[in-house]
């Protein structure tokens, strides 16, 4: 008996070669059918979700579709692979080892697939309630979604390690022995984590808010376990540790109800008192016409005898707190001030100095 015949007998026993080929062909066809079925399910997942959850809104149906599509596909394909493997007529001795190994791989794959499904569902929680539609609740939710995903991945990893044969209890015990070292090394991480949790519950700001803290100013793009990412108005991205945010004062410009504007203009010294008073009155009257300006906080007054000008201060509060709207209104008002000054036949003062020479 040659080597090839010996290997054949150990793997397939006394089953004739044509019979083995038939079973292998059936196994391949079976696998191809289930593999294609899995891909089809993934492709048509939105249609399946539409039929099964027709009473839910589109966001929920899309979330369910995306969460289930890939895990279901992988489950069908893995099941097809295991079934195809078990169809092949191995000898009793070889099957005892091969089937056990195949089932072990299948169990590990199932654990990974369930973990993926759990991560996807956790990621889709935000679509299942209207409570998470505002920025503050969404920021808090996204933080806990990240924690939930990490816990699921850790748990799935521990179960897979146990399935492979690792002593997970012993591993956790060894981590316990090194807990002091880890605690010392992770003080900053722990500080950032707890500061992040405090920030999320206190809600001084949310993703999308315009804030300034510790000399930095910009829009909050993301919050993580360790830091908050702020996009500055120069388009730079700054990662600020949560512990710094928790220990420093934060100004949230997005939370402004009204925005204050103070403009100082200087008129030439040749301006008469009546003209000066008329300029102030007309500017105030024009400001009262704007619906976007708070009426009871408008102030226009002759403020100071400056070195080269008669200074008038214009102060008002506007409900337009967004940068684009705010500066557009400010520009419009400054044009209005120029028109009032021109209409009253006076002018803006230059920074000048008069020198008197004594001829004596």
Q: Look at the block and give the residue holding tokens 């999308």.
A: 208
Number of Cβ within a 10 Å radius of residue 156 = 19
Q: How many CB atoms lie within 10 A of CB 119?
A: 19
Distances, alpha carbon 17 to alpha carbons 92, 93, 285, in Å:
17, 18, 102
What phi and psi, each to the nearest 5 degrees, are found at residue 238? -110, 130
The backbone torsions φ and ψ at residue 168, rounded to the nearest 5 degrees and listed phi first, read -65, -35
Measured distance CA(349)–CA(48) in Å, rounded: 74
Q: What is the pLDDT of residue 69?
A: 84
Using a 10 angstrom Cβ sphere, with 0-12 exposed, 13-18 middle and 19 or more buried, the burial of residue 320 is middle
pLDDT tens for each residue of 227-240: 888 898 888 888 88
User: What is the structure's pLDDT at 184?
Assistant: 46
Read off the pLDDT band of 129 (50, 70, 90): low
Strand 216-223 and strand 227-232: the pairing is antiparallel
Of residues 4 and 40, the one with the higher pLDDT is 40
Section 157-169 average pLDDT: 78
For residue 176, CA distances in Å to 156, 186, 187 come to 20, 14, 16
- pTM for the whole structure: 0.51
Q: Which residue has the higher pLDDT, 8 or 320?
A: 320
């Amino acid at each position: 008996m040659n080597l090839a015949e010996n290997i054949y007998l150990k793997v397939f026993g006394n089953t004739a070669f044509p019979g083995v080929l038939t079973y292998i062909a059936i196994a391949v066809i079976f696998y191809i059918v289930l593999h294609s079925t899995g891909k089809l399910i993934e492709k048509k997942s939105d249609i399946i979700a539409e039929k099964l959850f027709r009473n839910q809104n589109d966001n929920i149906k899309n979330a369910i579709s995306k969460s289930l599509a890939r895990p279901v596909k992988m489950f069908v394909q893995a099941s097809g692979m295991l079934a195809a493997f078990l169809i092949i007529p191995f000898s009793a001795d070889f099957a005892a080892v091969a089937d056990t190994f195949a089932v072990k791989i299948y169990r590990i794959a199932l654990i990974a697939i369930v973990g993926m499904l759990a991560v996807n569902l956790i990621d889709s929680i935000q679509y299942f309630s209207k409570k998470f539609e505002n920025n503050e609740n969404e920021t808090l939710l996204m933080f806990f979604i990240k924690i939930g995903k990490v816990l699921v991945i850790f748990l799935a990893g521990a179960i897979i390690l146990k399935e492979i044969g690792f002593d997970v209890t012993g591993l956790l015990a060894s981590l316990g022995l090194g807990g002091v070292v880890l605690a010392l090394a992770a003080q900053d991480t722990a500080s950032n984590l707890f500061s992040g949790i405090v920030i999320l519950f206190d809600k001084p700001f949310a993703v999308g808010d315009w804030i300034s803290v510790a000399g930095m100013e910009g829009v909050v793009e993301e919050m993580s376990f360790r830091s908050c990412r702020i996009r500055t108005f120069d388009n730079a991205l700054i990662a600020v540790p949560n512990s710094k945010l928790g220990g420093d004062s934060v100004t949230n410009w997005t939370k402004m109800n009204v925005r204050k504007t103070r403009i100082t203009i200087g008129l030439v010294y040749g301006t008469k008192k009546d003209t000066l008073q008329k300029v102030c009155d007309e500017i105030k009257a024009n400001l009262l016409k704007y619906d976007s300006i708070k009426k009871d906080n408008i102030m226009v007054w002759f403020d100071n005898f400056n070195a080269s000008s008669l200074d008038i201060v214009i102060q008002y509060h506007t409900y337009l707190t967004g940068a684009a709207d705010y500066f557009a209104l400010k520009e419009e008002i400054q044009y209005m001030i120029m028109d009032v000054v021109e209409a009253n036949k006076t002018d803006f003062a230059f920074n000048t100095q008069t020198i008197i020479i004594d001829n004596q």
